[in-house]
Structure 1
């Protein structure tokens, strides 16, 4: 993962994902988010969960539409505003975040190697709190 900061879109994979969301037809944007969240949420604990950066970015976009959520204002996120997202994406995003903060998950492993796992986990916990409360 090429990362330049700890933010949800501050890595190459998430930045590319922001462009992919922009490229999707308006009626398919929620499907793009659902696909990346499901790919992580549906992995079992014995499977290695990789490429979670997109799921974190998707969770951030969903949380931005929740009460108490922070808007995604980074230049690396989607440039176009998202339509209102379906509420059923929220529990899916929570499941994906839970999977990424468990053992056998690439993003957590990479942040631990960099000595930034606690800072990364704090950002994930904040996202999860907004999503779970909504």
Structure 2
């Protein structure tokens, strides 16, 4: 996997997923991606599925007006969200799934976490994932 940043968008899997999202008009791809990441039948969550799930979660956060930093890497998702945001409805079921996925990505059962743990950028990556989780949790 080509990786150039610790955020959800800074890798090849994320960019490919975001490009495919542009061919859809609803949240089915987001839901399918989250469901794949929650499927424990394969054991460990493989890195590509975790990377794609983080971008799917960014879609949900951005639809709720809680997007992270926008830039060249997030452009495809930002454009997709902008075209749908006026009609977007809150999907609490998807947000609940997203929180479960983040917990799985940060767990010992995550290949992506394991790969980042072996790098000098682990703490920055983990902080990025925690920041994304914080944007999903409703304010009390």
Q: TM-score range by the shorter chain?
A: 0.7 to 0.9
SS at 2:63 equivalent:
coil
Flag structure 2 segments of 5+ consecutive residues without an equivalent: none
Q: How many residues in Structure 1 have an aligned counterpart in Structure 2?
A: 129
Structure 2 contact 64–90 (Cα < 8 Å) conserved: no
* 1:118 CA displacement: 1.3
Structure 1 contact 55–96 (Cα < 8 Å) conserved: yes
Say whether 1:35 aligns with 2:32.
yes
**Cα-Cα RMSD:** 2.0
* 1:74 CA displacement: 2.9
- Cα displacement string for residues 98-129 of structure 1 (whole angstroms, at most 9, x for unaligned residues): 10000020111111111222111111111112
Match of 1:73?
Answer: 70
Say whether 1:15 aligns with 2:11.
no
Q: How many Å separate the matches in 1 of 2:30 and 2:129? A: 17
Match of 2:52?
Answer: 54
Structure 2 contact 4–10 (Cα < 8 Å) conserved: yes
TM-score normalised to the size of structure 2? 0.82
Structure 1 contact 41–99 (Cα < 8 Å) conserved: yes
User: Given the superposition, is the C-alpha separation of residues 98 and 19 from structure 1 closer, same or farther in structure 2, using an over 3 Å criterion?
Assistant: same
User: Given the superposition, is the C-alpha separation of residues 72 and 61 from structure 1 closer, same or farther in structure 2, using an over 3 Å criterion?
Assistant: farther
TM-score normalised to the size of structure 1? 0.85
Flag structure 1 segments of 5+ consecutive residues without an equivalent: none
Runs of 4+ in 1 over 6 A off after TM superposition: none
SS at 1:81 equivalent:
helix
SS at 1:133 equivalent:
coil
